[in-house]
Amino acid sequence: MPEFLNFLFLFGQRALALDLYCSGFHHNTRLGENSSNLTDKTRGWSGVDLQMCYTLKSIEPSPSQIDWPWSVRHCAVHHTFDVINIRSTWIMIKGDRKIAERIQSVTGGQGPAEFSSYESIKFAFDASLLTHIVLCDWSAENWQRYINFLEQTFHSLTDEAKIVNADLPNAFKDTDAFMGIRRSDTLETLKPHKSRVLSWKSARSQNLKTKDNFTSPPLSNIYTNASGKIQPLPPGRRVDTARSPKTPQKLYDEYGQQQYSFRDLQKVSEIEESVNECILVLRLNINVVTQLKDHYASLLKDDDLPQEIRNGCKKSAIRFQGRIDSIIKDLHLQILRAEGLLRLLADRKTLLNGLREYQTTLANRFLAVQSRKSNKNMEHLTHDMGELARKTKSETVSMRIITLVTLFFLPGTFISTIMSTDIVHWENGERNFQSQALKTYVYLTVPFMAAVFVFWAALQLLERRREKSKKQQIDEKLDPES
């Protein structure tokens, strides 16, 4: 069937694993007298056959993916059943041999004898139905474990947001006052499986290094699976085999409460995308499995189908339809669980956004208080500077006058003082110098000068203490809590 070729593009080595959601069911039923003329009978085919192709998806453990050990796997199936020559052909494309081993276990020598015998058309048709059931069972397994993993990851990330006391004061730092939290190395908390290209480029552009001064190797979007084959990853997922999985570090404040950043919101969005992907894949599987069941239900009512199959395979067809209905119900239950988790994710994102907005409000309030204090300080400082300028201006005028008068009288005063003492005096036109009088003058003048300087220093110290006390009073008025 040409439609089967479209399913082949899901496999193979490429830069990115695209067509993740490609799915479908196609059939070509050739029954009746004229159908045998459409086939070359030299190859052993009668031309009266049933042909179908479809693709199913399942979630499987993927230990190679760091921090996200699950991946969606594809299985493309092509089946031809010759109702005349009793021949059956299966073409299955899968990344490993898991499907082949399961089919061999139920239709090979280990399974019931009737399912491995093609002596009658009834047993061959029953074996085909059983093979379809094995494929449908594979598409429905592990989803419960995967949703449990999503729930655990989600709860471990956001459960503490429900008990955070947002009314507790935050200890803002000068270097990070706006956010109110510590900055951390976000590279350790990135999840390779869903990181957007922009976030990885920005993280890698910072050239973050480990403690051993070793730069982490670039991430790869191609990895080797357990069977040794190279496979691409779905879009946006990466593998880093050089590092082992690390538990994301949580940030706590001084009160022991977890702090949430924008990266936490990104993680919740990544989980939300994974849940949406899970729901979409489950619905695609339900669509394919339902079409498969309806096809066989209508086929058994076709008058051109051999009577031996219609009468002899009724019980097998009823068991087949019952098993398919059970698989569909199980898939619907998993969708209900995923949709409930999706609603919980939306509510928790709203809560985290509210916490971040409240953090921003507190930070803005803190900055407003600090700005108000700064404005008050500047106002008082401006007032003091104005007072100081006025005092300085008046004192400058006084000092200029005093300095001018002093400079005018100082030389004459000094000379008249010396001349009025007995150090130097004139008698009968002769000058007499008394050294003992000079010593007495020095002994009396120097102590008085020292006393004047000490008195001046004491006045300066008193004035400084008075200014300091005045400044403390102003600060107490601006910040009563301190």
3-state helix, strand, coil in the chain (%, to 5): 55, 15, 30
Instruction: Classify each residue of 374-401 as buried b or exposed e, where b means 16 or more C-beta atoms within 10 Å of its C-beta.
Output: eeeeeebeeeeeeeeeeeeeeeeeeeee
**In this model, does residue 328 exceed pLDDT 60?**
yes
pLDDT tens per residue, range 129-163: 999 999 999 999 999 999 999 998 888 888 777 76
- pLDDT value, residue 303: 84
| Crossing angle of the two packed helices 143-158 and 314-420, in degrees rounded to 10 | 20
Sign of the alpha-carbon torsion through 154, 141, 17, 67: positive
pLDDT tens per residue, range 356-400: 777 778 778 888 888 888 888 888 888 888 888 888 888 888 888
Decide which of 211 and 275 is more confident: 275
- pLDDT value, residue 332: 95
Q: Are 293 and 321 in contact (CB under 8 A)?
A: yes
Average pLDDT value over all residues in the chain: 75
Phi and psi, residue 177, nearest 5°: -70, -30
Rounded Cα distance between 469 and 457, Å, is: 19
Task: Output the six-digit token pair for 450.
Answer: 């020292």
**In this model, does residue 249 exceed pLDDT 70?**
no
Residue 31: pLDDT band with limits 50, 70, 90: confident
Rounded Cα distance between 227 and 255, Å, is: 50
- pLDDT value, residue 267: 84
Give the containing element (helix H, strand E) for 425: strand 424-427
What pTM does this model have? 0.61
Task: Output the six-digit token pair for 93.
Answer: 């494309």
**In this model, does residue 174 exceed pLDDT 60?**
no
Q: What is the DSSP string of 357-405?
A: HHHHHHHHHHHHHHHHHHHHHHHHHHHHHHHHHHHHHHHHHHHHHHHHH
**In this model, does residue 245 exceed pLDDT 60?**
no
Query: Any residues with CB less than 8 A from the CB of 60 and at least 6 apart, and which?
Result: 70, 71, 73, 142
- pLDDT value, residue 231: 52
CA angle 435/436/439 to nearest 5° reads 90
pLDDT tens per residue, range 402-430: 888 888 887 777 777 777 777 777 777 77
Average pLDDT over residues 25-30: 90
- What are the CA-CA distances from residue 83 to residues 103, 120, 283, 306, 366 (Å)? 21, 10, 32, 8, 82
Rounded Cα distance between 106 and 473, Å, is: 91
Rounded Cα distance between 331 and 326, Å, is: 9
Sign of the alpha-carbon torsion through 290, 295, 300, 301: positive
- pLDDT value, residue 110: 54
Taking alpha carbons only, the member of 58, 94, 91, 93 closest to residue 226 is 94
DSSP state of 36: G
CA 177 to mean position of chain CA atoms: 22
